[in-house]
A and B are shown apart, each in its own frame.
Chain A
């Protein structure tokens, strides 16, 4: 290969390298500060705060989902009974609760078929309105927040 050809190759590679390093200079500092900010903001979180982070962002009350979780288990198929209501730009309230429940209440899974459900989770709704007989029912204080068991987990 002629020396002039090698020089041209090096010049082109050098130009590209300059652009790559300019790119690093352009955002490297910002990304570095962002990494540090994230560490400072979240390093003080407790395990519980981290578990609740998703619910806090939605936002849905984490204590209610902890209540639901305490009464559901592996093998449960959950029917979500949620008060019809708007919620935000991305979803209505039933969608938001079901989406959060699918994540938070695993290994229990969701079903939309009441006949197939082992448990009904009621969120600001009255489980007595559903045409089904319950084995047990647990209510969160005086709130219309109820876990109603139809049958044992599968």
Chain B
């Protein structure tokens, strides 16, 4: 057991190397010192990129394991060190006020450490966790390719789901020498650690640090976060990617600092490659950002959207080539007024159930209230552009989820019962991570608002 944990840890150290080396390319680090101090963000980047590469190569039958991953890490680190050269790092400024947010982050670390201990012994047993995600991951490990029955034969469920989670777990299984049903979900916890560390490094200069740290702690201490992450479902992973993406986008809308737009492109792309809803959340984020960004910023925004799309494109091509169809619904029905009218009786119950799930204090504690306070606070501070982006993304994303329930051919009661508590996680975590960015304390004159 210990050997397998060490093997998985080794894989994650290599993923960290992949990410740290890429930080200069993403304009997130400019010196060797920053390569070290921004390592938590490097870990988030490394997990994203490794999963994207592994999921994409799986489409052509190439596996990422003991050979490819170390090569990726070495190449990336060599590039990163060379790219920053001997550039001088900004002087390190220690401030006693950093202690409070770091103490909150330490508490978050204690929770994540306890979760790691629990995840290491918990077998995956939640239905979709093994029947869909586990089977796909195990199949990628066992068969080494997505061009096999578990990914192409309609007798296997959820063929439309993209491969980021299965591909990452298959990488770990190759390092461990087997698909370990107890340890494998530690990779999703690794993503949670990367989420907390990455969000902190990425956003601390664009948000009140204590509020940012408190937000991250509030997210990981919701009952839903722990309960859902251990199931091996992809809903919390996609939520974390989407949250990092939309928060980066919001920070960029406020201050176009280097690294924010590349971060948005990467994390939204990774979200799109994690679960189908991720594509919708990313699309809505870019459309909402375009609506509030102003004409002079549309070009870089479009380039970021294209980058996210490029991450998703090989999967979309593979889906088309293999004629994989979504069994439960056809997107074209969203544009068919007759179909929508015939199924309009699904809208009310779906909306009520989604709102009910959002307002369950036992699931998300006060995090939804926190999001509403954040948007209201942005309006009080007359940050209309940001408030519009946050509210627009949340409302349109909610509408997107509602649209899927509307056109789904699944019996409504069972469909809502099985999924409504999970599909809204991205709205909660994404909305929460927007709040610290909305409520940044500006010492300089504020950027021109709408």
Contact = CB atoms under 8 A, between A and B. Distances in A.
Contacts, number: 172
A13 B370 CA distance: 11
Interface stretch (A64-72, A101-109, A127-135, A143-151): A101-109
User: What's the dominant secondary structure at chain A's contact region?
Assistant: helix
20 contacts: A1-B443, A1-B444, A13-B436, A15-B377, A16-B435, A17-B210, A17-B214, A20-B218, A22-B366, A24-B214, A24-B217, A24-B221, A28-B111, A31-B222, A35-B226, A38-B230, A54-B124, A107-B143, A109-B143, A110-B153
B243 to A, nearest CB: 14
B443 A107 contact: no
A12 B377 contact: yes
B149 A110 contact: yes
Interface residues of A, number: 50
Interface string B332-376: 000000000000000000000000000001100111011001100
Contact of A54 (B130, B223, B366, B373): B130
Contact of B441 (A13, A30, A39, A98): A13
Interface string B109-137: 00100110110011111010011001100
Contacts of A26: 361, 365-366
User: What's the dominant secondary structure at chain B's contact region?
Assistant: helix
B125 A57 contact: yes
B182 interface: yes
A60 to B, nearest CB: 13
A102 to B, nearest CB: 6
Interface of A: 1, 6, 8-10, 12-13, 15-17, 19-24, 26-28, 30-32, 34-36, 38-39, 42-43, 45, 47, 49-51, 53-54, 57, 74, 77, 90, 98-99, 102-103, 106-107, 109-112
B142 interface: yes
A24 B361 CA distance: 12
Interface string B421-450: 000000000000001100111111110000
A127 B146 CA distance: 32
A19 B230 contact: no
